[in-house]
Amino acid sequence: MSNLLRPTYDLTRDSQVSRAAQELVRMIHVRDLKPEDRLPPQSEILNELAFSNDTVNLAMRSLVSGGIVRRKPRVGTVVVDPNRPLKGLWSVGIATFPSATTESYYMQLLYRIQFHLDVEGCGSSLHILRESTGEGIPALKDFGNLEQEIAERRINAVVTLGFFDTSDCEQAKAMKVPIIHVGAWENAPAGVVIDQGPMVKGAVELLIHRGCQRIADVSPAPAAGFCRGWKAYQRAIARTGPGKQNTRHIVAGSGSRGGWQAAETLLAMPESERPDGLVVHNDWVGMGLTARLAKAGDYRPAITVQTNRQAPLAFALPVIHFELDVEEIARRGAAMLIQRMRDPRVEDTVEWVRPRLAIADPSHLMEAPQLSVA
């Protein structure tokens, strides 16, 4: 990975010089200039970017000292490495919910996003949702001073860890400020998003091969933008399972308390009706659920759980792990954001990340009395 070079001119000293440097980088990418390609003459750059000659010279100096371009006698300015990180060139706002500072998944995701942005020379600032926004869908103005910083051009891009009002995207896009989502919101217009569908399908099939006859889905109530897992469960049961009459949904609240309460719902059922296989969408829910079932003593369903590869939890009962690679989500999200800052032509896209079974071949577990993957 390229080492960050300290530019001769500190881009944080002058917002005009910083913006001129950003526009020069965008010019390189929009024109698809490759190493050894020549930039336009200075007069053409001045006319296109509408900055003063002194400002462009200082911005160009930062690109030269950063290793992005170089001056060639009697040739002009040529590209060296259009993707080389330049310290202080870009600033990213991270819009998130208060849970990002308390829940291990969000904390890990936030830390890794900041890490990858920093490696690419980007500064980042955290903007937490205000508590008094009510029950509506939050807008950018609800995340601290994020909207103000966009308007004042102190932020070049936004990454959100939660859902938000997508009408803000067009306003920001007009200012060349891309917005992407990184996380679980399935209706995000752009970003890197968790796809629970394949995981749930695989979990149902695995439990059926294990011999389970009554499989239940343990997850929050289906909601717009967060229901791919539930829909996949319904399809998998209808296609390969014991029939629609045994389609069960155990509503789980958030965290380990939600899992504990879901376990209470299961234990309240007649023993003959209790599910013998569970598909749990959240590791903290799984932790609370298994703790309560272990305490009950005699009810031992086979359990599949989506877990966090980077911050694994301990479960009171054996579970099958479908691991979510938070590092992959963060890395791909940072790369997508940087690409869109460099080139405003890049269209909105969604990249899906799937939780994967923690072992390559679960066949040797099929006849085991308890399914357990370390």
| Dist CA 105 CA 100 (whole Å) | 8
| Dist CA 34 CA 26 (whole Å) | 13
Please provide residue 308's backbone torsions phi and psi, each rounded to the nearest 5 degrees. -100, 115
Strands 76-79 and 69-72: antiparallel
Question: 5 and 56 in contact (C-beta within 8 Å)?
Answer: no
In the predicted model, residues of the chain with pLDDT beneath 50 are 1-7, 360-374
Kindly provide the b/e burial profile for residues 125-147, where b requires at least 16 CB atoms within 10 angstroms of the residue's own CB: bebbbeeeeeeeebbbebbbebb
* 15-79 CATH fold: Arc Repressor Mutant, subunit A (1.10.10)
Q: For 120-144, give the secondary structure using H, E and C.
A: CCCEEEEEEECCCCCCCCCCHHHEC
The count of C-alpha atoms lying within 13 angstroms of the C-alpha of 117, restricted to the half-sphere facing its C-beta, is: 27
- Other CB atoms within a 10 A radius of the CB of residue 44 amount to 11
Q: Find the angle CA(120)-CA(125)-CA(130) to the nearest 5 degrees.
A: 145
Task: Count the helix, strand and coil residues of the chain and give each as a percent rounded to the nearest 5.
Answer: 40, 20, 40
Between the CA of residue 65 and those of 7, 9, 38, 53, 70, what are the distances in Å? 5, 8, 17, 18, 8
Please provide residue 141's backbone torsions phi and psi, each rounded to the nearest 5 degrees. -65, -15
Q: 91-194+327-355, superfamily in CATH? A: Response regulator (3.40.50.2300)
Q: By three-state DSSP, how is residue 91 classified? A: strand
* 196-324+357-365 CATH fold: Rossmann fold (3.40.50)
What are the residue boundaries of the structural domains of the chain, listed by start? 15-79, 91-194+327-355, 196-324+357-365
**pLDDT of the residue at 312:** 87
| Dist CA 33 CA 27 (whole Å) | 8
**pLDDT of the residue at 132:** 59
**pLDDT of the residue at 134:** 57
| Dist CA 221 CA 199 (whole Å) | 18
Kindly provide the b/e burial profile for residues 175-206, where b requires at least 16 CB atoms within 10 angstroms of the residue's own CB: ebbbbbbbbbbbebebbbbbbbbbbbbbbbeb
| Dist CA 292 CA 262 (whole Å) | 9
Between the CA of residue 371 and those of 47, 284, 368, what are the distances in Å? 68, 19, 6
| The two structure tokens encoding residue 370 | 């308890």
**pLDDT of the residue at 366:** 42
Please spell the DSSP secondary structure of 304-350, one letter per residue: EEEEESSSPPP-SS--EEEEE-HHHHHHHHHHHHHHHHH-TTPPP-E
Cross-strand partners of 353: 194
pLDDT of 269-283, one tens digit each?
999 999 999 999 999
- Other CB atoms within a 10 A radius of the CB of residue 49 amount to 17
Greatest Cα pair distance, the chain, in angstroms, is 87
Say if 91-194+327-355 and 196-324+357-365 have the same CATH topology. Answer: yes
